[in-house]
Amino acid sequence: MQVNDGNPENLVNQENLVNLVITCKECQMGRLNRRYVTYITWLGDEMITVPDFPAWICDMCGARIYDGQALNRLSLLLSPNAGRPTLRPSSLIKPVRVKKPRGTRPE
């Protein structure tokens, strides 16, 4: 059983996406509909636009709730560390001791 906490993402799976009806938390009258919109955000002094971004939009007041998974993925892409190899902290790196092979003793 699913509980309606007002967050559309908690109710959605692929099977019930078509028949899902969610009331808007902002106006309490409209229905949230899944749409693909242009998402706009700022990265420092640069304006970033992302077309075809998944969101839930109220048909009465226009309130938007952006898809949480898509926001997380976008955050990873826009991260200053995106594409850089991850470094392990030196405290986690343990020194490796190489054992020298034992040879025969000289006579």
Q: What is the CATH number of the domain that holds 67?
A: 3.10.20.860
16 occurs within a structural domain: yes
Q: For every one of its 107 residues, what pLDDT tens digit does the chain have, with 9 covering 90 and above?
A: 333 445 555 555 545 555 677 899 999 999 999 999 999 998 888 899 999 999 999 999 999 999 999 999 999 888 877 767 766 666 555 666 666 667 666 55
Q: pTM of the entire structure?
A: 0.57
Domain count, the chain: 1
Asked whether residue 49 is domain-assigned, the answer is: yes
Give the 3-state secondary structure of 14-73. Answer: CCCCCCCCEECCCCCCCEEEEEEEEEEEEECCEEEEEEEEEEEEECCCCCEEECHHHHHH
